[in-house]
Amino acid sequence: MKYIFLFFGIIHLLLGDNLPLTFEPRISTNYYSSGSIYHFNKSGQTSITTLGLGARKTEGAFSITGLFQFTSAHNLSYKSTFFNPDLNIEMNRDYIETDNTWFESSNLKIAYKTNSFLASFGKYNQSWGHGKSSLVLSDNIPSYPQAGFSWRMSNALTLEYLIGSLSSQMIDSSSNLLYDNVGSRNTYYSRSIAAHRIVWTPSPSITFSAMETVIFGHRAIDVHYLMPFIPFWSMQHYTGDIDNIQMCGEIIWHFKKDIDLYGSLFIDEWRPEWTLDEKNRNWFGYQLGIVGHNILNNNDLIRIEYNWTDHRIYKHRFPINDSYSYDYSIGFWAGPHAEELYLSYKFNIKEFNILANISNVKRGEYSSQMLEDQYNNILNERFSGNTEKRLFANIIGEKPFLSNKINLKLGVQWIDWENPGFNPLIPNNNLKEIQKFSFYFGVSGKTDITFD
């Protein structure tokens, strides 16, 4: 069967329509007069400049896209990125004898597409869910190597699958002996993810999704999770109940032509017979939202979304199975023991694009003691310890120039932040609150260089 698939792939490659190879150099710089949410102080400007080179090529049914980016930042706190849904860093490096930092990233996606099937592999990100945030699989983490497919099995059913390699950031001291001759380098235990999702659209007005992920450590690939059609929950029991299974269900109601109501329920663990007990195993997270187009104006977009996560989710009794990569949560960007109310409105005024949004987020502790308690069925009251709260209000105007090759952005931001720099793993309360107004300026440019 695989040889037949390969044969038709070659036919598509040779006879399909070809597009030229295109490179896309790009540059962007962003300036925040008071640092916005990129550091924990009341004042101090922050700037972030990125140089990038993208490329794309289509050959029949095959396509390849890639992007390399190098970023240099002034007055950016690396720890702030763990409480920021818009920035993640694979590896943070300091310049010599300065406070500036730099980091880089690379993405690649190779895809084969037919009318009903899409297969892909490379190093990239994807997010599952209808919300701005995702509870189960988000693009908040750095891109990671993965392979998978999306198969439209019928007009109403679609199956998606992926298997990927995450970064545990857990040092493997035994392997480090191999790299400790002149200087030293850290190596890390492997952490992997497999996920599948089935999307059912029984009518034009309703869509159901059922998602399941498994996080497993100390092996790059596990044959048990290479079977997309078998529940991982069952396979995990077969392998000895050592991995981290998570499930999520989502419903989208296309209420009107341009309005969707949606909700998700994330399940990390559930013991049905204890559901109504004070002490229970209901390790849940949930999301409720509404998104509408063309509501107050043509081409506008309104979104209201609420996310809530229990303190017992995403973390596992075996840390190698935590639902994290590079210490960023794979699911909701604020992690466990958190909640956020998010509102945004996008609209156009002539050639100006305007975005206004408000994020009111709060998170609490998830210490090692709380992790031990949850497996001993000891209930910790929500937000009973130290917490971090942040109100972030933002309005930005964008104006494209030269056929969208140049974009100019201007904006203002207001931040009211209680206990900034809070570390949920090592709880402490700095008894610090900052309020600041930050002026934002950004400019970006890109162009295509085509080779026929």
All domains in the chain, ordered by first residue? 115-451 (2.40.160.130)
Give the Cα separation of 323 and 137 in Å (integer).
10
Query: pLDDT at residue 276 above 90?
Result: no
Could you tell me which residues are beta bridge partners of residue 149? 119, 161
Give the Cα separation of 246 and 216 in Å (integer).
12
Q: Residue 172 to residues 145, 191, 334: CA-CA distances in angstroms?
A: 20, 12, 27
Give the Cα separation of 48 and 422 in Å (integer).
23
- 7-11, 23-27, 131-135, 422-426: which has the minimum mean pLDDT? 7-11
Higher pLDDT, residue 79 or 280: 79
Could you tell me which residues are beta bridge partners of residue 394? 357, 413
**Nearest alpha carbon to residue 197 among 214, 210, 207:** 210
Q: Which residues contact 180 (CB under 8 A, 6 or more apart)?
A: none
The reported pTM is 0.91
In this prediction, what percent of the chain has a pLDDT beyond 90? 71
3-class SS shares of the chain: helix, strand, coil, % to 5:
10, 50, 35
Q: Is-contact 211 199, C-beta < 8 A?
A: no
Q: Which residues contact 279 (CB under 8 A, 6 or more apart)?
A: 377, 378, 379
Contacts 24+ apart (CB under 8 A), 182-187: none
Q: Name the strand (E) or helix (H) holding 374.
A: helix 368-375
Query: The tokens of 35 are what?
Result: 């640092």
pLDDT average, residue stretch 380-403:
93
pLDDT, residue 4, reads 42
Give the Cα separation of 65 and 147 in Å (integer).
15
pLDDT, residue 7, reads 45
Q: What is the CA radius of gyration of the chain?
A: 23
